[in-house]
Amino acid sequence: MKDIGFITSGDGAHLQCYQDYKTYLDEEIYLRTLDRVDLGRFKAIVVPDFSNQALLQRHARQLNDYLANGGFLIVFEPNRMDEWLDVVTVQWFSRETEDWKWWMKPGGRMEAYQPNPGHSMAKAIPLADMCWHFFGAFRFAEGATPILNLDNDEGCLMYDQPVAGGGRLIASTIDPHTHHGRRFMPATTRFLNGFYPWLKAEVQERG
């Protein structure tokens, strides 16, 4: 079994991210021909931000089956997983970043915090490297561990949820791949520099 499959829509940013992090990734999987791939060969599958919505809908059953059968699925928004993921209930709601230019201002901050600093991802990626902007938020999922929350727990921007049957879902409304792949927003590069080593270690520990 391979560790990590990286799904790409063929977008240039996705392709660049795969090249940059292929030390940690085992295979690039083209979303259009996903039905030709046995996802069960991978311990984890990453669906990067700004993937093709129509193709995600077309292959929704395959992604749901992977998660239901014990797979580890990581999905970054804005992919509207609430519209195609049905193994678990995903409650996404529209919420704009209060100030998209906060990072350009002295002392500025995005309205988010890490509620569980003991979570392994929070240990690997500091708050500053999770903050640039976001695309909506999630209602808190039953049984999930929030990794990144809006201030005052208005909603969740990233959570880690165990799924019946041994599966695991990480859902995120931040979009690191698009920015890193297009070479702007330095925090996104720092995020991925922490995320992929973390994910590789996580799946190897999981066995």
- State how far the Cα of 14 lies from the Cα of 167, in Å rounded to an integer: 25
pLDDT for 207 equals 65
Tabulate helix, strand, coil % of the chain (nearest 5).
40, 25, 40
Handedness of CA 72, 74, 79, 83 (dihedral sign): positive
Give SS3 for 135. coil
Burial of 103 (0-12, 13-18, 19+ CB in 10 A): middle
Mean pLDDT of residues grouped by 10 in the chain (207 residues)?
96 94 97 97 97 94 98 94 95 94 94 98 98 96 96 96 96 96 92 98 87
**pTM for this prediction:** 0.96
pLDDT for 110 equals 97
List the alpha helices (DSSP H) in 33-154: 53-58, 60-68, 120-124
- State how far the Cα of 5 lies from the Cα of 2, in Å rounded to an integer: 8
Q: How many other C-beta atoms lie within 10 A of the C-beta of residue 97?
A: 17
Give the up-direction half-sphere exposure of residue 150: CA atoms within 13 A in the CB hemisphere. Answer: 21
pLDDT for 184 equals 85
Answer left, alpha or beta for residue 88, where phi above 0 means left and psi between -120 and 50 means alpha: beta
Q: What's phi and psi for 54, nearest 5 deg?
A: -65, -40
Task: State the amino acid at position 120 in one-letter form.
Answer: S
Q: List the domains of the chain with CATH numbers.
A: 2-206 (3.40.50.880)
Q: Where are the beta strands (DSSP E) in 82-201?
A: 92-93, 112-113, 137-138, 145-150, 156-163, 167-172
